[in-house]
Amino acid sequence: MFNSGDIVKVLIPNVINRGYDYRLVESADIGNFVRVTVMNRHYIGVIVGAGDSGLDESKIKSVIEVSNVGKMSKADIDWVYKMSDWTLMAPGAVLRLILNVPDAFEAVKTEQLYTFNFDSSVKMTQQRQAVSDAFASNDNEAMSVKDIMNIARVSNAVVKSMIKSGALLSADSREIKDNRFLYKYFDTGSVKLNDEQQSAADTIAKALSTDGFSVHLLDGITGSGKTQVYFDSVLRAYNAGKSVLLMMPEIALTAQFIDRFEKRFGAPPVVWHSNLTSARRRSIWRGVACGDIRIVVGTRSALFLPWQNLGLIVVDEEHEEHDTSYKQEDMGNYHARDMAILRAKIANFPIVLASATPSVETLHNVALGKYKRLRLTSRFGGAQLPTIETIDMRVNRSESYKIGDEEKNGNLSSQLCEAIKDTLDNHQQVMLFINRRGFAPIVQCKKCGWVAGCPDCSTSYNYHKHINKLVCHMCGRMEIVPSVCPQCGNNVSMRGAGLERIEEEVMNKFPNARTALVSSDTIMSREALERLVHKMENGEIDIIIGTQILAKGHHFPNLTLVGVVDADMGLFGTDFRAGEHTFQQLFQVAGRAGRGEFPGRVLLQTYQPEHPVIRAICAGDRDEFMASDMESRRAAQMPPFGQLVAVIVEADKETTLKKYCDELSRNAPALNGGKIMGPIAAQIYQIRNWYRMRFLISGNARANLQPIVSDWIAKVKQPANVRIKIDVNPQNFM
């Protein structure tokens, strides 16, 4: 405990500091949140220790006030600095992830609020539907104009027009109470675990009772009931007085999951995600900080809530690396799964990783004995695994179809079309998977070769038929489709297939089938996804066509056929994880079939039926494939058998970029047992008019690369118009 007048070190949430000295004006302790000023700007910081700057005490500012809103433990402060050391983010940048709700330390604001008028006769446009979904994601609570705009991603003009039309109604301004999420949980007895599940649950329960760090991989096939096993662990930890974080990919936070939670525990979970109002974020943050909220289901940012007495973390779908659900790249590069394990290790409590397709890194740690594996090998309720077959597209050509008088090349083979017809005749549902948005990925002139490309990014435009626009998938820029080639005046053509083209083909070949399209372009919110899920459950959809949004987390009992339109799509990327990610994705997609009383069937269209990934999926032999992939990585000294650090340098001028990278090259250190490669142009050289180059630093598994990289970067003065991103064990190489 520090007394008034003592000098303490305060870490503030900015990207350049490791802590500044301040004088206390009242007693406080390590972990207390305090209000301070830096360069006349107010910050909320945290006391991390005694002052050590050696400054003249007359030059040391005083703390303005000590907050009574929660406190960080010594273990969590250690975690901030350890995470900083690992990711090479500044400690203040890590703290910013925790102190990301500034309203939590302010008096409740009174502002004009509005409610959505569900009885309004106003026609629902896409933007108005987004506003409706924003209210639904916050239990239809009254919202401010600012929250409506931020969550629904609409303009002020849209909100004003909805107020004028009566679609939004004025509500009384009111103070939001901080204790509105104080649920009590208990076992409703609605679920009885089978022997395999109970054994896994008992093993985790034993770990919880010993109050020590351990990592448990809950390795279960799709539909094996992993959720109910870790629900058992959640309740045990809660009943022992501990707080619990249940961390999930964004897309897995569905009504299906929340309903399962409430049926098991008698009350809904407190849910933390990106589409909460500022008042709701404030209430949850303060509730967690004060220890009143002890169970949260959330996305990766929930890891950075100010937890009190955290005693268990569950990371569902721990392998989700290829879609960046757990990989943060906007406010510093870190993998939430790895940082969750680090937090559990420092605070000395168990963590559970749940997955049907664990990552190579996780399986390697199982092999080393660092993690304990708990296997679930049968589907819950007696459902059978689907049969998986390939369609060799070298001999099974796609069937063409007509739009008006125009003959078009198809993408669905006769074998897949016949399977779709049989499934529909049996009044069962079909899923078609293609992980490519839009209608066509390339718009090109066949005569001169011109390709429509984004002027701000070094990528081609994608054609989106639903909006009849060219769209850049990197920066979001849109343009109208040229009527003729701007270089030679000939007609342009659409090359390649996205899910909109598959939709066109399906509607042509199965005109009586009720179809639905699912991608990030058509599903703009979790509420929109829920509407589609309910339609599938109620049998209102016959064929659902979608991207990886459909790959996991959904249970459709009447879905018996899954068709993968292009199983080869991810096999030949430059990323050394390409095979692993493709296997994980296709394995998850296949797992959607046959989860009810009827058996499932999966058909993979491929030009590479002999490829090890395709063979392993068809054989259901995940372990053999992963073992082979691990041996390949071992031979190449790729993670987890080696270390990689990517340094991405960005500048708004190519000359500045080249000059700075040349200076880095001249100052590059010599590595013992490793090497520095680059600089080379990044795979996507230009994004939003910033030019990009990459260095890649490799070392063996025991190499301590972070201090070397940190010292190297510090040697070269960074220009104001240069940005540096450091990514330890990167998940993509763009």
Q: Are residues 320 and 399 in the same domain?
A: no
Looking up tokens 């009254």 gives 142
Is residue 155 situated within a structural domain? yes
In the beta sheet, which residues pair with residue 246?
Answer: 297, 314
Is residue 179 situated within a structural domain? no
Q: Are residues 564 and 443 in the same domain?
A: no
Q: Are residues 406 and 478 in the same domain?
A: no
Among the listed residues 600, 546, 586, 557, the one whose alpha carbon sits nearest the alpha carbon of residue 256: 557
Is residue 181 situated within a structural domain? no
pLDDT at residue 253, rounded to an integer = 64
Q: Are residues 674 and 591 in the same domain?
A: no
Q: State the residue range of the domain holding 430.
A: 387-436+499-631
Measured between alpha carbons, how far is residue 480 from residues 126, 462, 471, 501, 503 in Å?
Answer: 20, 11, 9, 18, 22
SS3 annotation, 179-211: CCCCCCCCCCCCCCCCHHHHHHHHHHHHHHHCC
Is residue 449 situated within a structural domain? yes
Cα distance between residue 287 and residue 181, in whole Å: 8
Q: Are residues 372 and 411 in the same domain?
A: no
- Tokens describing residue 561: 């056929």
- For every residue of 344-355, DSSP letters joined together read HHHHT-EEEEEE
pLDDT at residue 227, rounded to an integer = 92
Contacts (Cβ under 8 Å, ≥6 apart) of 418: none
- Give the sheet arrangement for strand 32-38, strand by strand: 20-23, 7-11, 41-50, 32-38, 65-71
pLDDT at residue 329, rounded to an integer = 46
Q: Are residues 417 and 509 in the same domain?
A: yes
CA angle 601-604-609, nearest 5°? 125
Contacts (Cβ under 8 Å, ≥6 apart) of 256: 533, 553, 554, 555
Is residue 252 situated within a structural domain? yes
Q: Are residues 122 and 166 in the same domain?
A: yes
Q: Are residues 663 and 693 in the same domain?
A: yes
Cα distance between residue 697 and residue 709, in whole Å: 8
Contacts (Cβ under 8 Å, ≥6 apart) of 716: 660, 663, 664, 667
Query: Where is the domain boundary, 361, 381, 401?
Result: 381
pLDDT digits (tens, 9 = 90+) for 393-452: 999 988 888 888 888 889 999 999 999 999 999 999 999 999 999 999 999 998 999 999
Parallel, antiparallel or unpaired: strands 168-171 and 113-116 = antiparallel
Q: What DSSP designation does 385 have?
A: P
Query: Where is the domain boundary, 40, 75, 99?
Result: 99
Domain CATH number, residue 40: 3.40.1440.60
Low-confidence stretches of the chain (pLDDT beneath 50): 321-331
Is residue 104 situated within a structural domain? no
CA angle 504-509-514, nearest 5°? 70
Cα distance between residue 292 and residue 243, in whole Å: 9
Is residue 237 situated within a structural domain? yes
Is residue 182 situated within a structural domain? no
- Tokens describing residue 40: 């006349």
Q: Are residues 428 and 485 in the same domain?
A: no
pLDDT digits (tens, 9 = 90+) for 666-682: 999 988 878 999 999 99
**Phi, psi angle pair for 552, to nearest 5°:** -150, 160
**Phi, psi angle pair for 328, to nearest 5°:** -85, 130
Looking up tokens 């045990």 gives 236
Q: Are residues 553 and 419 in the same domain?
A: yes
Q: Are residues 508 and 455 in the same domain?
A: no
Domain CATH number, residue 261: 3.40.50.300
Cα distance between residue 557 and residue 234, in whole Å: 27
Cα distance between residue 580 and residue 571, in whole Å: 9
Among the listed residues 266, 318, 260, 270, the one whose alpha carbon sits nearest the alpha carbon of residue 294: 270
Contacts (Cβ under 8 Å, ≥6 apart) of 262: 268, 269
**Phi, psi angle pair for 684, to nearest 5°:** -110, 105
Q: Are residues 541 and 657 in the same domain?
A: no
32: part of which helix (H) or strand (E)?
A: strand 32-38
Domain CATH number, residue 709: 3.30.70.600
- Tokens describing residue 594: 């046959």
Q: What DSSP designation does 498 have?
A: -
pLDDT at residue 16, rounded to an integer = 77
Cα distance between residue 346 and residue 336, in whole Å: 15
pLDDT at residue 733, rounded to an integer = 72
Query: Where is the domain boundary, 99, 133, 156?
Result: 99
**Phi, psi angle pair for 625, to nearest 5°:** -65, -45
CA atoms within 13 A on the CB side of 290: 16
Number of domains in the chain: 6
